[in-house]
Amino acid sequence: MKFLLSLYGTLIYTLAIGQNLPNIEDYPLGHLDVEVVVMPFGLDYPITIGKVSKSGNIMFDFPKEIDLPEEVISGFGSSELWMTLFSSGCKGDPPVEESAVYSFKAGNIWLSSAENPAFGVIFPVSDKKLVAWQEDQVNVDPVLGSYYELVYLDTAFRYRGNCTLMVPVEKEQVNVEYAYDLDLKSGFNFIRYRIERIHKTNAVIRASLPAKISVTNIENTPNSQWIGKFF
């Protein structure tokens, strides 16, 4: 089955006047030919979305189409857009009229070479501390700032609204507010999650957690730090 992407999804982000390519900080792998891939369908079905230069610049090139077996598509993706874009258990008004839109989260953004198909992960964040928090939200405190996810939709989608996720912390329920303002294109989209307020907790029990997160899409690549972790 083939899913055609819009022209948005085929853009190659190149160096232009006043515009810098995203760069992996302290990139140590200039001796390798490295591709950027996502693997929402597992290690056997990587999707190449760009390359990394010898100096660590990321050159995104989203594919014109994704050609995968029907059994792979039906086994991993979701036709429930609410499940892809919105936090599970979030109390609000889901856009039920869009429930038939096929979508999936791309997951980790991987670095891949001929020698090793998954030897590193890159994190677009506004603050390095958010990398540790993304990996362990129970024991690591968040900080004010932004982190990003890459998602795929086969149909354009617009939504503005709010929902509240209730997180149990000892004997209380902590409300995490999500404010959505999305105008997504068909194909791959970067979504920015900006932590605007933090609920402080007793560190003996668990780490603090976001109290308010604004969720928006961005037109191009995140203007952020790109932190690499290598295995």
pLDDT at residue 108 in the model:
95
**Residue 7 exposed, middle or buried by CB count within 10 Å (0-12, 13-18, 19+):** exposed
Q: What is the pLDDT of residue 217?
A: 94
- With contact defined as beta carbons under 8 Å apart, do 9 and 49 qualify? no
* 115: pLDDT strictly greater than 90: no
Mean pLDDT taken over the chain: 84
Q: What's the pLDDT score for residue 80?
A: 65
- pTM here is 0.86
Q: What pLDDT is attached to residue 42?
A: 87
* CB atoms closer than 10 angstroms to residue 95: 19
Would the pLDDT of 138 be above 50? yes
Residue 87 neighbours by CB under 8 Å, 6+ apart: 163, 165, 176, 178
Better-predicted residue by pLDDT, 122 or 81: 122
The token duo for 124 is 């677009």
Average pLDDT on 32-44 reads 92
Q: What pLDDT, on the 0 to 100 scale, is given for residue 223?
A: 92
pLDDT score of 215 more than 70: yes
Does residue 151 register a pLDDT over 70?
A: yes
What 158-163 contacts at long range (C-beta under 8 Å, 24+ apart), as own/partner pairs, is: 158/182, 158/183, 158/184, 159/85, 159/95, 159/98, 161/92, 161/93, 161/95, 162/92, 163/86, 163/87, 163/90, 163/91, 163/92, 163/93, 163/94
Question: What are the backbone dihedrals phi and psi of residue 6, each rounded to the nearest 5 degrees, phi first?
Answer: -75, 170
